[in-house]
Amino acid sequence: MLIQQKQLKREPVPSSGFLHVHAAEQFKRGMVCLESFRTRPQPGALAFMADAILYDKRAVRPMMYGGVQVFFGTLQAQMQYESNYYKVFASAHIQQLKSEIQRRLKTSSMDTVYPSIAASVHTWIIAAFLEDNSGKHVSAAEQCKRALDVLQWGAQQFKDSRFDIFKPGFIRSVHRFHVCLAMGSYLQGNSGYGVDDISSLARELKAETENSIPEPANLKQTQPAIYAAQHVYPIAEAFGAMAWTHRMRGQLKERARATSEASTHFSSASRFYMRSANAYPEDEEEATFMLYLAAEHAWMAKSQLSVTLPICQQIEDSKSKSDVIWGGAGARSSSTEGVAEKCRKAIAFRRDCEAKIAAGKLSLDDVRTPAWL
């Protein structure tokens, strides 16, 4: 409705509504293909679904298709169908995949082989999404890394503007997804990713995005969803990942009873979460959530109220903007609603502290941590 009324902002950063609506439209197109699977299977669903996942995975709503089990089962069947239809490449190490692609190119043109590569990439992205949602975080990161490796190699080998998946913007979208999955993989253990590895991935993503040039030059005005996905969200999420690495380091120091070093990392995490929040569109719920994490880590660092209360004020200001898009009934998932509740508690904490300061019971130099933290 907001988009129809042309109320969404394009400047200085496109509204989060553009990104979400684009992802939802791609998801619906994929659903049309899935709904015909039992009667008349057709290719194309995976490209739409992969696009929805890469733009905004919040738009992928299994409950719209009979629930999680039915949706995932049908999607897996579609993956098998399209694997056969497009003759996708088997999951393998990048060197094996490169060899197999080059082997096919000896007898077929790139115009013939490209659909197989594209379908393979879409399949790995969706497999990563399914496995991540099934708690198989290590495998999910591996699937996405496979797609990213092929894309980065292909971009060097096949410099042709017709091949969309080898364009920098698409590759950056997969890189963005990979950073997210790598964090989950690390937490699951035995993943091959260390905190330093994830920090490097995040910094690479940030640098790639900052050095990228929108194509066409008026992309923000003509296709704000694509602009946001390729030039805004990667930076915001990279800052969030950098903050997360400081959180992990802080927790390690805390367990080692190195309190001062832990506080330093938690303070750094808070600052990076603030940078993440500021990089998002102002009406993006993740901006509000990043501010909450900034407050949480400032509390963990035992920061004074002079530091934590202004962050809580920013949470309230941000929430009033993001609720326009994300505050309606059914707009949030159960997990994000939990974070939204924490934001409301942070706002109440600020008001309580300010009342006590006004009454002379507290000062801004005091350190106070919420009882519920």
DSSP letters spanning 295-345: HHHHHHTT--HHHHHHHHHHHHHHHHHHHHHH-STTSS-HHHHHHHHHHHH
241 neighbors 183 (Cβ within 8 angstroms)? yes
Q: Tell me the per-residue pLDDT of 86-142, one tens digit each, with 9 for 90 and over.
A: 999 998 899 999 999 999 999 999 999 999 999 999 999 999 999 999 999 999 999
**What percent of the chain lies above the pLDDT cut of 70?**
97
Q: pLDDT tens digit string along 33-63? A: 998 888 899 999 999 999 999 999 999 988 7
- In percent, the amount of the chain with pLDDT more than 90 equals 83
Task: State residue 161's pLDDT score.
Answer: 83
Instruction: State the greatest distance between any 2 C-alpha atoms of the chain, in Å, as a whole number.
Output: 82
Provide the Cα torsion 205, 192, 120, 60; round to 10°.
-70
